[in-house]
A = this chain, B = another copy of it.
């Protein structure tokens, strides 16, 4: 399955993700939105609020992928350390950015929010970075090299991502089709499924067992950039299920 599309990695930063208190939803959202631009998310890491861990992950992944995204740790409190870590990873200085400060002060003035040194921490941007707009709370993210630094709050992350996406070189989009089988297990489908995979080697064909309302089901998912081929694969999957006497949820 050669695929020459741009690749991306995501670094989710936050102790609360690793303690189990917070359920991440940013990964699936980012994956879906990148996919719509033909950018493949090929790796994600969840790491703690720990400078060496952040710096190492950023430097490893930015050399390996076309795009790196981070979420979390860019607020005003003492545990918000992402911007400093990014500056250190790139070996550049960090300080108050005049445009970031201006945006924050406009936002605060309109809401009778007082400026203070901690709030102003949100205007600290590594040297050479460009700002990423935040329609929700003004405090910008930033882009340095191929690293996009976003907020962890899903509503703000999503706003920032929509500002980033149009600027990214995109690739052909990978489409997906699926067939849900309710009447048999993966073990009954494995051999004919393997035959379909061999017949369509350029298609990424996966089998995902699970349960819906306590009833077990298997979802067969085919992914490819070639929509015509995918239609053929879907036909082959439906024929496969019929041939082994199975039932599908959709037709």
Contacts from A to B (Cβ < 8 Å): 15-25, 27-33, 35, 40-50, 53, 75-80, 113, 116-119, 121-122, 153, 155, 174, 176, 185-191, 193-194, 197, 204-211, 221, 223
User: In the assembled complex, how far is the CB of residue A115 from the closest CB belonging to chain B, in whole angstroms?
Assistant: 8
User: Which one of B16, B31, B40, B187 contacts A76 once the chains associate, using CB atoms below 8 Å?
Assistant: B187
Question: In the complex, what residues of B have CB within 8 A of residue A205's CB?
Answer: 78-79
A16 / chain B contacts, CB cutoff of 8 Å: 206, 208, 221
Cα distance A15–B208 when bound, in Å? Answer: 10
Please determine whether B20 and A29 come into contact, CB atoms closer than 8 angstroms: yes
Instruction: Tell me the bound Cα distance from A25 to B209 in angstroms.
Output: 15
Cβ–Cβ < 8 Å partners of A187 in chain B? 76, 113, 116, 118-119, 122
For A206, give its contact among B49, B190, B210 (CB under 8 Å): B49
**Are B21 and A221 neighbours in the complex by a CB distance under 8 Å?**
yes
Closest 7 CB pairs of A and B: A118-B190, A20-B31, A20-B32, A119-B187, A44-B46, A77-B207, A20-B28
CB distance from A62 to the nearest CB of B (A): 16
